[in-house]
Amino acid sequence: MAASPEVLPEAAALPWRSRVDVRRLRTLELWWWLTTVAHVVPFLAAAGVLLWLEPLTLPVALLCVAHAWVIPELYAQRGANNVGPRRRPGTRPGAEQTAMGLLGDLLGHDERDLMTRTGLALERGAFGVWLLGEGGALLLRPGGRTTLCWCVRADDPELPAGDRIAHLVLALRADEAGFATVANLSFAGATWRVRRRVPAAMRPALDAARAVAKSDTVSHAAR
């Protein structure tokens, strides 16, 4: 498979991976939903059976309910960790400021302001609304109710944060399907669950992306 301007070289180097498309994304969402159900339902069922057999088992039943809640939360935490700040070796004086300035040139005014406040770059795509961080990306699907968390980053760990995010922005714009193909999916689920797990400073970015995802869906429906 030869690389072309429309295909990321990184995606071309992984011919065994099926190229991501809308149908593939829906399949991934369904798989994660079924995984969540498979983890949650047995614990809830066990809690109900215990209480039905013996009300005195309430403490054990509550423990089962807690497990049903905690397991999806742990998956969401793993996904949210992808966009959190990264520890990097010290960069040259002024390198980070320069990198952020160059990244700002790639973004619109509103997106630049959001990036400055939250550390996440917002990009509209064919698959939904993306939020790009130093070590990963969040994809809010149309409507904003579902978020997919991806682990993907620039190879050089010594790059300033701005350069790392700029690499992801350019790769996404060049080949969105290839970008998703190269990235590793770590979680797919409710946006509210992911929002609870990202750092508080980044939550306004999820709110903004969800608003864009909703408005884009309404605009598309109107047409």
Higher-pLDDT residue of 84 and 221 is 84
Assigned domain for 79 exists:
yes
Residue 158, in any domain of the structure: yes
Is the pLDDT confidence value at 59 over 70?
yes
Q: Chain-centre distance of CA 80, in angstroms?
A: 7
- Average pLDDT of the residues in 111-126: 91
Asked if the structure places residue 67 within a domain, the reply is yes
DSSP state, residue 94:
T
Positive or negative: CA dihedral 87, 89, 94, 96: negative
Q: Is the pLDDT of residue 175 over 80?
A: yes
Average pLDDT over residues 122-126: 94
| 105 inside domain | yes
Are 107 and 115 in contact, with CB atoms under 8 Å apart?
Answer: yes
* pTM (two decimals): 0.86
> In this predicted model, what pLDDT tens digit does every residue of 177-214 receive, in sequence order?
999 999 999 999 999 999 999 999 999 999 999 999 99
Of the candidates 64, 62, 15, 75, the one whose C-alpha atom is nearest the C-alpha of residue 42 is 64
63 within some domain: yes
Residue 5 lies in a domain: no
Does residue 16 lie in a domain region? no
pLDDT of residue 3: 40
* Domain hosting residue 137, numbered range: 21-85+97-223
**DSSP structure string for 103-163:** HHHHS-HHHHHHHHHHS-EEEE-SSSEEEE-SSEEEEEPTTSSEEEEEE---S-TTS-HHH
218 vs 68, 100, 146, CA distance in Å? 34, 33, 16
Over residues 14-39, the mean pLDDT reads 91
**Is the pLDDT assigned to residue 161 strictly greater than 80?**
no
Cα 40 → chain centroid: 22
Residue 98 and residue 104: Cα distance in Å, rounded? 10
- The domain tally of the chain equals 1
- Whether 62 maps to a domain, the answer reads yes
Whether the pLDDT of residue 92 is over 90: the answer is no
Residue 4: the pLDDT is 43
7/156 Cα distance (integer angstroms): 21
